[in-house]
Amino acid sequence: MTHKLWLLTTIATALLSLTGLLTVIYNSSPSQPGALTWFYLCSFLVAVSLLTLVGYLIRLYRSNFELVYISFRISVRQALIAGAGLCLILYLQALRVLSIPDLIAIVIAAGLFELFFHSRKFKQYPLGSEQ
């Protein structure tokens, strides 16, 4: 896929998932079966899409608008980690079991997960390859 197609797909995903999220919020109640599943799924997709676009635009700005294709992959990876953390926080808050230590632990776990992917050893030896 070309670079523009990746960006257009991300923008389309953001718009469609935002539309789905607003539809779930305004047209359903939490007691309906499947409403919470759609809410969390659309929330995750909105978070990942928007964080990918914001992260990529920040990387473009910092690199003086040079098109570096690896920047998009890094933005997607970081957005997936942040989106998963955000949905986990939302779910724990909905269950009324979220506390400050849990929040700190989730943020630290997300940071450590990103450091794992950012480490030099992982870049040299991807998962599944022999050393």
What is the C-alpha to C-alpha distance for residues 129 and 131, in angstroms, rounded to an integer? 7
The answer, yes or no, to whether residue 69 has pLDDT greater than 80, is: no
Q: Which helix (H) or strand (E) holds 55?
A: helix 35-62
Residue 103's pLDDT band (cuts 50, 70, 90): very high
Could you tell me the pLDDT band of residue 91, with boundaries at 50, 70 and 90? very high
- Cβ atoms within 10 A of the Cβ of 70, count? 8
* Residue listed under structure tokens 């969390």: 40
Residue in 7, 39, 13 with CA at minimum distance from that of residue 25: 39
pTM as predicted: 0.84
CA distances to 23, 32, 38, 45 from 27, in Å: 6, 10, 12, 19
